[in-house]
Structure 1
């Protein structure tokens, strides 16, 4: 049988864990006047323009502006790739990048920036030659990392 002190301690630990639950929000701004912001993870559409909040890590998600000419996985369009996760060791946190690796191609000006941590860290792509995007799988220097807990991501099109 548990004592009052044991039950009280368990309640405190449970409350502390609940307060520290991991969450991440992806926010879209579409200044293009056309298209639908799209967020996909594992073949599932998570958002078509509204804020999406994950209760836990958001891993291997992609985002793009569906202009009518993009494939389901953003083929033919500028792609934002992201993993938002609280770091468990140095260098193991969030990472986001822009991709123009074929079959992806420049479609509209696209950019991203972290908020609620790592503010100011991000990248923009304004043309097909943008140096801040992957053009081949070896362009690892274009990944933008963030080592803050519960960081959020703002994605903007046509800004």
Structure 2
């Protein structure tokens, strides 16, 4: 009797573990560098480098990450370069999901054509900035209309340079 109880309990725990794994939040940031130079760089809020060109997968939300193409002219936080800002998270209430944008707010400035597109949800939605006067980037903090939201679970982001 105890052996069968233990077997049933073990089966239930295994099923719960599998169910939790299926429901776990996950986001991927991918880079496409068409410039033929530079190093795509992804950093988290604490300044830790998460990727220098390879896919980065977060197991859970990715909050306040920044990305830029390090051409030798960018500061550690993308100063002097075109900056992509992103928060990737599953929405828990309407409007609380992912949001990404391009920033040229000083000390950031146009360096290379940069853009992003969501995938695995909100496919194709994004923005491109091909010159210093693009209307799809923040030029001042009040340019909030340039943020691109995605309200889909597990959305990924492809960051594209020189497209």
> TM-score, normalised to structure 1's length?
0.95
Between the two proteins, the alignment pairs up a number of residues equal to 159
* Aligned Cα root-mean-square deviation (Å): 1.5
User: 2:83 corresponds to which residue?
Assistant: 79
- Check if 1:123 corresponds to 2:110: no
User: 1:96 corresponds to which residue?
Assistant: 100
User: 1:110 corresponds to which residue?
Assistant: 114
Aligned counterpart for 1:31 among listed residues 6, 13, 34 = 34
Can you list the C-alpha shifts for 1:3-24, whole angstroms capped at 9, x where unaligned? 4555544432322111111111
Structure 2: distance between partners of 1:137 and 1:6: 55
Q: Which has the larger radius of gyration?
A: 2
Structure 1 stretch displaced more, 10-19 or 86-95: 10-19
Structure 2: distance between partners of 1:28 and 1:111: 10
Can you list the C-alpha shifts for 1:93-148, whole angstroms capped at 9, x where unaligned? 00000000000000000010000100011000000011000011111110000011
Can you list the C-alpha shifts for 1:34-55, whole angstroms capped at 9, x where unaligned? 1110000121001111111111
Structure 2: distance between partners of 1:72 and 1:78: 13
Gaps in structure 2 of 5+ consecutive residues: none
Structure 1 stretch displaced more, 12-21 or 63-72: 12-21
Structure 1 residue ranges, 4+ long, deviating more than 3 angstroms after superposition = 3-11
Gaps in structure 1 of 5+ consecutive residues: none
Structure 2: distance between partners of 1:13 and 1:26: 28
Partner of 2:43, secondary structure, is: strand
User: 2:21 corresponds to which residue?
Assistant: 18
Structure 2: distance between partners of 1:10 and 1:36: 44
Structure 2: distance between partners of 1:93 and 1:100: 23
